[in-house]
Structure 1
Amino acid sequence: MRMLNLKRCSFLISFHLIGISTLMAQNNPNPTVENQNNGDFVQVGITEQPEATVTINQDPKIQTLLAIKSKMEKDGDFSDRYKVQLYNGNLNKANEILRKAKETFPQWDASIRWETPNYKVWIGNYKTKLEKDKALREIRKEFPSAFEFIPGKQKAPVNK
């Protein structure tokens, strides 16, 4: 036996429902329902559905966490932003490079990171590759060995 598909099944169900409602309307002894055009049409009253309400009970800490996350996204803590590495070596030289970088390029944030066994001086937090390329061109005038990278996805220095 062949199974009915969904379209045929829904058509048959709606056809039967229309037939049943027509029969009930013709046999309805209720005098308030008016038959027009010899019983072909039946006047139907539709009532409005009440509006649904939803109450959300959430911990107030969620708003605080969302604010912290928004700030971290703005600061670039989650995204693959570009940085430039100026130096890799001992702490004394790293502090000297950091001081020089902050004096020369005050518009960009510079910092020292410890990654075993060396200290690294990083500068910038660039959103786009174009922004990073412009900065790198300017930085290489003072620090010729500077190279670009994406934190967490470090690759070999790019020599241009």
Structure 2
Amino acid sequence: MRMLNIKSNIFLLSFYLLGTLSLIAQDNSNSPINEPNSNNFVPITYNPQPEAIVTINEDPRIKILLNLKAKMEKEGDFSDRYKIQLYYGNLNKANEIMETSKQEFPQWDSSIKWETPNFKVWLGNYRTRLDADRALKEVHEKFPNAFIFKPE
């Protein structure tokens, strides 16, 4: 029993001391150290960041390459295009058919390609098979043996 009294007395003493310290802390809260206008605070000025400036240094050869690529796409130098073959045979007949195709279909380019031992006359340069089919309907009136193919 005696032990219990000593422990309870220590508990009460510590409780009393904590209460006293909290009262002292509240008294000190009115001191000028914790006032917002005291000299313990440093004023901060906020300056917004300036606008970013991006400078692009472009090589002038890029425009030349883009123009060359556009020209190659128009001329059909890429293999993902369709063409119409009008003729396969000797050079004289190929030249004759190419001239006729230029007169009949000026909206499409025609060219002669040589593949041993004959010449081919090709017409147009179409991005899709549907475009080539539409053109073939017109071409079949003058050249019934024409067909669509995809050059390799």
Q: What is the TM-score of this pair, normalised by structure 2?
A: 0.61
Deviation, structure 1 residue 46: 4.3
Higher helix proportion: 2
Q: Which residue matches 1:53? A: 53
Secondary structure of 1:52's match?
A: coil
Task: Give the aligned length.
Answer: 115
**How large is the Cα RMSD of the aligned pairs?**
2.7
2:148 paired residue number: 148
- For residues 1-160 of structure 1, the aligned pairs below 5 Å read 29-30=40-41, 32=43, 46-78=46-78, 80-152=80-152
User: 5+ residue gaps in structure 1?
Assistant: 1-25, 33-43, 153-160
- What letter corresponds to residue 149 of structure 2 in structure 1? F
Counterpart Cα distance in 2 of 1:55 and 1:113: 47
- Does the CA contact (< 8 Å) of 2:87 and 2:97 recur in 1? yes
**Greater Rg over alpha carbons, structure:** 2
1:73–1:79 CA contact under 8 A, matched in 2:
no
In structure 2, runs of 5+ residues without a counterpart are: 1-35
Tell me what 1:12 maps to. Answer: none
SS of 1:148's equivalent? strand
Give me the whole-angstrom Cα distance separating, in 1, the residues matched to 2:100 and 2:66.
37
Residues 81 and 30 from structure 1, CA distance in 2 versus in 1: closer, same or farther, beyond 3 angstroms? same
Q: Distance in 2 between matches of 1:57 and 1:88?
A: 51
**Identity percentage over the alignment?**
61
Distance 1:75 1:82 in 2: 12
The whole-number CA distance in structure 2 between the counterparts of 1:31 and 1:131 is: 75
Whole-angstrom CA distance in 2 between matches of 1:29 and 1:56: 48
Shift of 1:142: 2.1
**What is the CA–CA distance in structure 2 between the aligned matches of 1:31 and 1:147, rounded to whole Å?**
85
Conservation of the 8 A alpha-carbon contact between 2:79 and 2:151: no
2: CA distance, partners of 1:132 / 1:118: 24
Secondary structure of 2:72's match?
A: helix
Q: TM-score of the superposition, structure 1-length normalised?
A: 0.58
